Amino acid sequence: MISLSEIDITVKRATKAVGFSWGIAEEVGKGISLLEMFGLPGIKNLNQYYKIYKDKKFQNISLISKSNISKISYCPIISGINFLDQIFTLKELPEINFENIAFPILFIPFISRSSEIVGKKIFLKIDQREFLLNFNQSIYSNYLEGNRIIEKANKIKIIFLENENTFNKNDWKELYNLSRETFVDESEELKKTAAGAGLTDND
């Protein structure tokens, strides 16, 4: 099995070899290791992307806005890097949409890292595939097609999720009451002495 460290370093070098800067190459190395660690086909998609990268033209987005549309497919790496770099302004937008991103799997690690930076879960939809990016700790998804190469995403939607509970008040109340069954009901004497404080409040 290829180790994540080998993936990181080889991807970094390959990224430099196709023409990106060393600084970007470092980001891609980390990103592909992350994808592979989460079981997503990073190497396969990157390899395919780099095969066509020099011959085909891709759009390099610079400033990301609410809606980003291009006739030429966006480069997933430059889009991802700029998303990451602009995250502190982008997080204020309710929803961000892209149309036409090449090899969108390669875009995912940058959004995952953004989730950690802003401290919010991010919902990412790549056409029909949905991903929940949890602070860069895990990726929850309905994308279970395994080792597939996805050459293009027509529509990508990104939503920053507010830090809210996934349960209602009643769910919590019921569970809390159950947890109280491990507590001891104190006698009057115990109320006075068990905490170890003095007998008057102001001594």
Partner 1 sequence: MEVQLRDPKVVMKLSKLGSFHQSKLSFLRSFLKEFKDWKYKRDLFQLDENGYGRAVYSLRKNNRTYSLVCFANQISDEERSDRVIATKWDTAFALHDGIPTKKDLDRLYEDVPKQEIGRLSYKELTLSRANKSMRIFNHVVESLSQGIQPNKDKIMEVGYLYRTTAVYGSGKFGLADRFRIKNRDEICGPFRLEMMLVYLVREFTFDQVNHIAKQKNPRKAVELDKDICRNLGIGNSTGLGMAPFIINHPTLLNNWIFAKEISLKKIREIENVKDCEAELFIKLLKKSLKNITSWNTDSEFQREKIFGLLRDMKKLINFLNKGFDFKDKYSFNELYLWCEKNLKDECIEYVVSLMMEPYDKIINPLIEQMSVDEEKYFNIPTQKNIENLRNILEANYSEIIKIDFSKKENNQNFWFISKNKEEPRLADRYIDHGAELEQPLAIARDIKILYQRISNIKNSLSIGRFLIENNDLRHVVRRAFISENFPYAEIQDNIIGHQLMPIDMLRLKLSFFGAVKFDPRSDKWLRICMFQGAPLLNDLKSFDDGWIYNYLN
Q: For residue 84, what are the contacts with CB-CB under 8 A and spacing of at least 6? A: 27, 110, 113, 114, 117
Nearer to partner 1, 78 or 159 (CB): 78
Long-range CB contacts for residues 85-89, cutoff 8 Å, separation at least 24: 87/114, 87/117, 87/118, 88/118
Which H/E stretch holds residue 159? strand 152-160
Binding to partner 1 by residue 195, rule CB under 8 A? no
Judged by CB under 8 A, the residue of 40, 53, 73, 113 near partner 1 is: 113
Task: Return the bridge partners of 93, or none.
Answer: none
Pairing type for strands 96-102 and 138-141 reads unpaired
Binding to partner 1 by residue 44, rule CB under 8 A? no
Judged by CB under 8 A, the residue of 5, 67, 154, 193 near partner 1 is: 5
Nearer to partner 1, 27 or 32 (CB): 27
d(CA 35, CA 30): 9
Tell me how far, at minimum, the Cβ of 15 lies from partner 1, in Å: 12
Site string (154-183) toward partner 1, x via CB under 8 A = ------------------------------
Segment contacting partner 1 by CB under 8 A, of 43-51, 78-86, 99-107, 120-128:
78-86
Judged by CB under 8 A, the residue of 18, 26, 59, 143 near partner 1 is: 26
Helices (H), the chain: 4-17, 22-37, 42-53, 76-85, 87-90, 108-118, 169-179, 188-193
Q: Which residues bind partner 1 (CB under 8 A)?
A: 1-6, 13, 20-24, 26-27, 30, 62-63, 81-82, 84-89, 113, 117
